[in-house]
Structure 1
């Protein structure tokens, strides 16, 4: 448009309808600012699920209670055998009452304190194994999937370990080493990382050759940075799901080993020990409480972690973000 036409057009406009906007550097920067946060958005999606939020509160209260329970007033020792003041004999199979809230077992130990002590032990095993599975599984799986030269040797190692049944490894470890808490954790950690590593490897193989990863590699971006910045953020949801499921799975293995007589010694209370003791009494109606109480606590822990893991995996998916 020529200058004459522009001047003619501007003469016909009412200048009172317009005002010049001055440039403001701070306002210009604010216009491009976004307060989006991935983890805040994930949390907002997570708390929308009322069941998962309730279970999160429940697990938080349960874990905190198991930690502070020994320090509360009027708490009994989990390994002490209590004597009946009338008969001077062991207070065996005493039903729940105001003094023994969950009753006593077959040798006169307080079930209330033993259940919470056993919950601490089982949660410690589950969390320790879950953390190791996450660290080792993610690191090995990421290198396995992205660094092509490592694919064959890691695959051979995986095939050897994966073809040995986990139960056999757990049984052999408990035979070789003295039955203890550390033995249980080491035995589970030996093969616990295999599933996570294989899972991460398969997902990374799918996305490693996408354009932005190839561009980063051509620009000289280090391998570690490509893995941590380009690849792993896409896998957050599924990794968190696997971690959440690893905790109840480890507790399940502990219960199984105790069931076959290769778990923790009786002197170390655990949910596996308590359920194994209650299982022998389940046919006696008056003594079923010795199985019901630890089974309820175990069910609460496993179901809660399973549900929260699934909901968090969905919430961590960017497609579900607000």
Structure 2
């Protein structure tokens, strides 16, 4: 029996207690944004779309600086050697009836369309998040906003934008204003619903019991947990506003005649679909690539921003 116990004891080593080592945490420190980046860049499709989106943005905002493109310039209209040239090494996207490079026109138009979309998204999202958060925690404000929402939400937003554009006239900032007049309402209602879910959780009930001000509770206890939801809304708004601009420009509403945009180019070259299809399909393709890349990158970033996916 003693020999058996001796053999068992020989196979084990007693562990000594080190008070200093026991205080150290060996688990890697959790970083929210590092986890977001790791989750996002693990998606190969998102990486490809991010590269594509970056290339389009760079071309849209840098190329027009060097080209000096003028939408109303017709100085080459009588030079038949420059008219209706198909895509080539000299003219990458070809030329139109005025002898103007479609390559320059597309990127100048993309700059306008993307700028309108980004500015309108920033304005509507900011207003929507702030008012939506207040809407979700204030019962008095909730009653007023619900009545406003019930009235405005029954009118198509596109119709409101068209009416506002006709009322205030064509122009870059007038179009953005028309988009933002009611564009903030849908994000605000969406945030309101999420805030109402979050406000009744245990830690927020405890904060209210301890007398935490509502503003502090909104910005410290609620909004940080809605990051993925806000990013999701942004990823939907960007392509939506580009679509609005394209449709309105196609109708001849919204922008001034001297401002190029993808919608205006598509409208202008619709009649060339049969004889010179590249004039129509190249702007359409660029528009599709912009919208798809923005949406996919935004949706992937929204998924990555959700802490539940970091497990």
Q: CA deviation at 1:207?
A: 2.4
Q: In the TM superposition, what are the counterparts of 1:145-184 in structure 2 within 5 Å?
A: 145-184=136-175
Q: CA separation in 2, counterparts of 1:159 and 1:50? A: 42
CA-to-aligned-CA distance 1:182-216 (integer Å, 9 cap, x gap):
01111001111111111111111122112111101
Aligned residue in 1 for 2:42: 48
Aligned residue in 2 for 1:77: 69
Change (3 A) 1:19 1:256: closer
* Structure 2 residue runs without a partner (length 5+): 1-8
Aligned residue in 2 for 1:4: none
In the superposition, the TM-score normalised over structure 1's length comes to 0.85
1:101 equivalent among 86, 92, 109: 92
Equivalenced residue count is 301
* Structure 1 residue runs without a partner (length 5+): 1-12
Query: Which has the higher Rg, Structure 1 or Structure 2?
Result: 1
Q: CA separation in 2, counterparts of 1:90 and 1:161? A: 54
Q: CA deviation at 1:172?
A: 1.9
- Say if 1:78 and 1:111, in contact at 8 Å, map to a contact too: no
Q: CA separation in 2, counterparts of 1:128 and 1:241? A: 17
CA-to-aligned-CA distance 1:238-263 (integer Å, 9 cap, x gap):
21011011011000001111122213
Change (3 A) 1:22 1:293: same
Q: CA separation in 2, counterparts of 1:82 and 1:28? A: 80
Query: Is residue 2:235 matched to residue 1:244?
Result: yes
Q: CA separation in 2, counterparts of 1:19 and 1:49? A: 44
Aligned residue in 2 for 1:293: 282
Q: CA separation in 1, counterparts of 2:171 and 2:22? A: 64
- Say if 2:76 and 2:98, in contact at 8 Å, map to a contact too: no
Query: Is residue 2:209 matched to residue 1:215?
Result: no
Change (3 A) 1:101 1:20: closer
Change (3 A) 1:149 1:90: farther
Q: CA deviation at 1:113?
A: 0.8
Q: CA separation in 2, counterparts of 1:235 and 1:156? A: 25
Q: CA deviation at 1:33?
A: 7.3
In the superposition, the TM-score normalised over structure 2's length comes to 0.88
- Say if 1:76 and 1:110, in contact at 8 Å, map to a contact too: no
